[in-house]
Amino acid sequence: VRKRLAHGDDLKDKPRSGRPVKIRLAQVKAAFEATPTMKMSEFAKKKSVDPSTVSKAVQVA
């Protein structure tokens, strides 16, 4: 960290390679707090993602 600061670099995250995230945890959490009776499969279809993606996001959130 000190070397980066000494060279004038900042500490912000650099862009990363790889596939971009399709759905954010905050989106999942907000959706299920707003409508707790919604099924994960309905949410997945609405956001065009795989139901397992929603399931994993719910477990983490």
Buried b (16+ CB within 10 A) or exposed e, 27-46: ebeebbeeeeeeebeebbee
Q: pTM for the whole thing?
A: 0.60
Q: Let me know: does 61 contact 28? Beta carbons within 8 Å.
A: yes
DSSP H or E stretch at residue 33: helix 25-34
Mean pLDDT of the region 31-45: 92
58 band by pLDDT with thresholds 50, 70 and 90: confident
- Residues with Cβ within 8 Å of residue 11, at least 6 apart in sequence: 1, 4, 5
Q: Is the pLDDT of residue 11 over 70?
A: no
Residue ranges per structural domain of the chain: 17-60
Q: Is the pLDDT of residue 6 over 90?
A: no
Mean pLDDT of the chain: 83
Q: Is the pLDDT of residue 1 over 70?
A: no
Q: Is the pLDDT of residue 10 over 80?
A: no
